[in-house]
Amino acid sequence: MNLSSMKYKIITTFKGTPTQKLLYGYMLDLDMEEVTLSFNKISRDLKLSRRAVIDNINKLCKLGIIRKIPRTGEDGGSLANKYKLM
């Protein structure tokens, strides 16, 4: 079984909405254990509303599928979150 088909097998093993599976698959396709992505970039790439991205990422965190690591700049402003794939 190649790595690509293994990714899709992982996606089908958890019970989630199609949007949650799409978000997780998007992150898996980046081939990194940790990814730094903004809500705006994800919503543009997947053609989802920013609110849908935020809500579904929070649900994936609650399911234990991903872990969100908030980041802040030197001035205290918010930066794009880092996500660790579990």
pLDDT in tens, 45-86: 999 999 999 999 999 999 898 999 999 999 999 999 999 988
Mapping DSSP to helix (H, G, I), strand (E, B) and coil, where does residue 74 land? coil
**For residues 5-20, average pLDDT:** 77
Quick one: pLDDT at residue 31?
76
Quick one: pLDDT at residue 3?
54
The architecture that CATH gives domain 3-85 is Orthogonal Bundle (1.10)
pTM: 0.82
Sign, CA torsion 34/47/38/54: negative
Quick one: pLDDT at residue 1?
46
Mapping DSSP to helix (H, G, I), strand (E, B) and coil, where does residue 4 land? helix
